[in-house]
Amino acid sequence: MSVVIRQPGVVLTDHLFQVPLDHGAPDGERIEVYAREVVAAGQEGRELPWLLYLQGGPGGRAARPVGRDSWLDRALKDYRVLLLDQRGTGRSTPATRQTLPSRGGAAAQAEYLAHFRADSIVRDAELIRRALLGDRGRWSLLGQSFGGFCTLTYLSLAPEGLREALITGGLAGLRSSAADVYRAAYPRVARKNAAHYARYPRDVEAVQRIAEHLLAAPAALPGGGTLTVEAFQALGLMLGTGSGSDLLHYLLEDAWIGGARGPELSDTFLAGVQAKLSFADGPLYAVLHEPIYGQRSVDPGPTGWAAERVRSEFPEFDAAKALADGSPVRLTGEMIYPWMFETDPSLRPLRETAELLAQRTDWPDLYAPEVLAANEVPMVAAVYHDDMYVDTADSLATADAVRAVRTWVTDEWEHDGLRVSDGRVLDRLIRMARGEA
């Protein structure tokens, strides 16, 4: 029986669905997928169109609403919203260091997780759509970041389920391999570093000082992790959001404290770093981050830790070299490296599993370019100028390759525009879809 909860301005209803682990074997093992229905208070009995929200990630659970917060306030004026905990996340059957050992060894875990990419998420959504709306019902789709990748897969596999598609920061390159993605990413991250140091010039020296210290003696994090210089550089992930540069600056302000034996990295700083770097609340983000780009028709080989391989082509991200040259130490971005499965306690038990996935070959295709070229589902997409996480050139090339797409290219917002714009990004997309903007 569904549980109904009332919050100020909204009514929340829990839904739990049984879906096949492998949609190619529908009579085999089943897992649970959770979704939360959100409707404006007083509108529960109305026949409202449904809006399915697909979260960024991979491996991120859907947002937990508190009333009509963030973009939900705008969405609830027109839709009944479904927030999906994509398989393996949130209240869906979890996939973490604690649960995966029940599958068996690393090989069994890797085989299991091979079913957690966008194609499986879309097929889950299709079963849920039919359960809630009936076979002939169609819903609108809002995809943020990785959710936009899933939207392109949805349009490839089951466009008949969609009445319209809205994408924010998530038009993936249809023919980009994992190596292509990171080869394009490092220069964008370098530009974000330059912008940060231009905004906060004193942070050049602050980062150099911390990096030099960590090269000599990696620090212990409060959660049991290890802060190496490479892990410290991974804080550059913050630079792709609207307020990320400012938050990074304030984190660096707290770096040092006077200890009994002289200056040392402060507990406040280390706790803040721990909060930013730990994958404890989303390990699938690390484990599946490169496999989400695997497509046999693009590259039949393994993704093979592409971010690590490609990094050698960009020596400016070598902290030791930068320190020796007296150059600014560049922080990295949305890259997953094999050493993370050593420094992060929540990932250590998954190291061999991640390695097997990194070496897996012949990943099924996620996009059907010929289907997308004939697409009839209206689609609008916000493309953020010089988005650090998703290559703008890839996004615009995909927009050219998919029929019935309108794009809004903007530098007013960064990648988190949907979340931080108080509904303005979503409102613009809705008006575009209706031909009002």
CB of 365 closer than 8 Å to CB of 117: no
* Distance in angstroms (rounded) separating the CA atoms of residues 203 and 206: 5
For CA atoms 187, 193, 198, 199, give the dihedral sign. positive
Integer-rounded Cα radius of gyration of the chain: 22
Handedness of CA 155, 156, 158, 160 (dihedral sign): positive
Of the residues 415, 416, 421, 427, which is catalytic? 415
SS3 category, 429: helix
Q: Which residue has the tokens 């530009």?
A: 191
* CA 291/CA 303 separation, integer angstroms: 6
How many secondary structure helices (H) and strands (E) does the chain include?
A: 18, 13
Active site residue 249: no
Annotated active-site residue in 92, 145, 245, 278: 145
Task: Please confirm, yes or no, whether 327 is among the known catalytic residues.
Answer: no
Task: Give catalytic status of residue 145 as yes or no.
Answer: yes
Contact of 417 with 242, CB cutoff 8 Å? yes
The catalytically annotated residue of 325, 362, 386, 422 is 362
Nearest C-alpha neighbor of 231 from the set 325, 336, 388? 336
The verdict on whether omega for the bond into residue 187 sits within 30 degrees of 0, i.e. cis, is: no
Q: Which residues have a catalytic role annotated? A: 145, 362, 415
